A and B are shown apart, each in its own frame.
Chain A
């Protein structure tokens, strides 16, 4: 395993990610405003020292909504990635270590999952499960199962060919034993770095569901919802759309950078 290369951009990405996590856990450190009740504050105030990101269409502080939204959006992204990671990895490991009919069957299912447009699939699942942040996250997660399954399969295939796995079988290891002891630990690091990379796209996909009206119910300040509710006023109050959009971009870029740095280190 190589060393993680700490370039300035990687450090910056780390700082952004750290801030996002801090905001998710301790939002009150960043703002004293209430994200879901604007009180008597006027609607659509432009950014000022009092309201850094201005106020939204019903007078709530946009910065507070972004800060408090971090926990919802990041949690949703983690759930989405978790679904894909767990289900996909199990499918992939089983397929990769059981060549023949089972492998073929599982990989055809994965092909099918890939071939159905992801958006259509997640919309359908949201309608099926009902509207809500976690349900949207699960729907997005399902669309990434195929991706994890392929990676896990290729990893387990190459590891399975290695001498030490053959040796482990030779010394009387059972299938599950070998899978758990030898294959899983070696396959895990590329899969995990893919998971980090996927966090960013999960955030984007969940916000797309929000845009199409299949996301989080109000007043939850989920990032996609903040943008999607404010987009009607993009010409009169650009700050509701543009500033949270910039925050999303920054966080997604940061997770990408961290993910690719990790992948280079584990490659």
Chain B
């Protein structure tokens, strides 16, 4: 084993976590974000006031590794600090609770962090080296007995080690180059010892006030299912050192109000009853601008919102059928009808601003003629030009899930349904609530086309989405036999998280993307943003690297 260890400078660490392509894409932040920032620069922040912020969904858990769900992350991101801070625009890593960037050994199996002194949790306990190790032992390994899953972002974790009172080292069984970035995400939010002893219930709704972290806000009150109130921590004094703003947050607090009726949320914002709303539907954007509402679109920097073709299913085994489905869909028309310029048409598997982006523009062109030809060749026929195709008495009928958290999933799928029917493919849209969608999505017999996306500003995001060990969006792994339908894909994905250097990881990511595109496994629609809207008086709103709100800098003008 290579024991020579060196301190890496920021550029090298950037390289570890991220590729050159992401550096080239620095300017890709939205114009609206710019507008809001400009306002913030010109005046001195005012202290005080509680911001009323509308969420469409209630949080399901505050256990950090499960903070990926928008409603969970929106809260966790504001109550928990991390070892490192990732700049949402440059995707660079900066010190935060770690007083400097970590030392990493050559094959990326050991990461050493030095901790900032004087940090305390909201329950009064101190943030110590032993506590940080306890955090990552739980996040890296999970605890089945307490029904707490491990973080999908941490690969190959072995153990943590306290070197001295302010230094910790993490050991990995195999290279884990994504770890430095992983400690910067809200999924690695640091919690006090007492909170780390909770079981899955302790992180759930109704228990939020008991949670103790070190962030600028603390959960102060909770009405299950409808409201969570965060209040400022007066003694907060450990913002990332490169921030201009230090000390307590400007706001006195944030009230997260949950209402599942979109028309009520947006109406409340326009009429001035609420300060901010997450998830603005595209048709409302012009009307909101007219009324002086600020829009803030933030990219989620991960796998694009798109359709995954589950190739292990009988009807999708033939690559011609998959190609036919892809070329039948008119992505540009869908985007024009349903979305605005805040939702950029996907040009690759990943968002342009994501780590490992590769351009595949032209790979998903609309060509219904080609679809018809391919389906004819594959033996799927129909009488005349209408109706659903069949072969040997079997109809070409597929089912897609409704991705409830994704913007306008039902409408997108309704248009895909129209497009597919024109070439003789029947698409059923799966109706049902969260439980039904989750349950059905894991079943190849129920869902053959899977609509989803995932955000994470690291190469590993591709593995998170497609590996049999993680979300297994394509259901590549046959749970019964334990075999992969496409073992090559799994192998390519595994390499992304185990190659020790940035260049090799980027190459691995590109190879996996090539494989996904060539085999017609997916049809990306757009780079999913989170679009927020805020009243004119709200200043300094920011998001973290995957578009979860960060209210530390936010303030309310008179």
Contact = CB atoms under 8 A, between A and B. Distances in A.
Interface of A: 36-38, 40, 42-44, 57-59, 127, 131-132, 213-219, 229, 231-237
Contact of A58 (B266, B267, B411): B411
B283 A131 contact: no
A44 B282 CA distance: 12
Contacts of B261: 231
Interface in B370-427: 408, 410-411, 413-415, 417-418, 421-422
B266 A235 contact: yes
Given A219-B414, A235-B263, A44 B283 contact: yes
Interface string B447-460: 00000000000000
B283 A36 contact: no
Interface stretch (B248-256, B431-439, B492-500): B431-439
Contact of B431 (A57, A216, A236): A216
B430 interface: yes
Given A57-B411, A59-B337, A235-B263, 5 more contacts: A58-B414, A217-B428, A218-B410, A219-B417, A235-B266
A214 B433 contact: yes
Contacts of B507: none
Interface of B: 261-263, 266-267, 270, 281, 283-284, 287, 333, 337-338, 408, 410-411, 413-415, 417-418, 421-422, 428-433, 436
B337 A235 contact: no
B430 A217 contact: yes
Given A213-B432, A214-B433, A217-B430, A232 B418 contact: no
Contacts of A38: 418
Per DSSP, chain A at the interface is: loop
Given A229-B410, A232-B281, A37 B263 contact: no
Contacts of B281: 232-233
A-B CB proximity, top 7 nearest: A131-B431, A217-B431, A232-B262, A234-B263, A37-B418, A218-B429, A43-B337
Given A59-B337, A218-B414, A218-B417, A43 B431 contact: no
Contact of A43 (B283, B418, B428, B432): B283
Nearest to B422: A37
B338 A43 contact: yes
25 contacts: A36-B418, A37-B421, A37-B422, A43-B338, A57-B283, A57-B338, A57-B408, A58-B338, A58-B411, A132-B431, A213-B432, A214-B432, A214-B433, A217-B428, A218-B410, A218-B413, A218-B414, A218-B417, A218-B429, A219-B414, A219-B417, A233-B281, A235-B266, A235-B284, A236-B284
Contacts of A218: 410, 413-414, 417, 429, 431
Contacts of A44: 283
B287 A236 contact: yes
Contacts of B436: 127, 131
A236 B432 contact: no
B440 to A, nearest CB: 10
A42 B267 CA distance: 24
Contacts of A234: 263
Nearest to A237: B283
Contacts of B428: 217
Nearest to B419: A37
Contacts of B415: 58
Contact of A42 (B270, B337, B422): B337
Nearest to A230: B263
Contacts of B418: 36-38, 219
A217 B429 contact: yes
A37 B333 CA distance: 13
Contacts of A236: 283-284, 287
A43 B336 CA distance: 10
Contact of A213 (B411, B413, B433): B433
A59 B336 CA distance: 11
A134 to B, nearest CB: 13
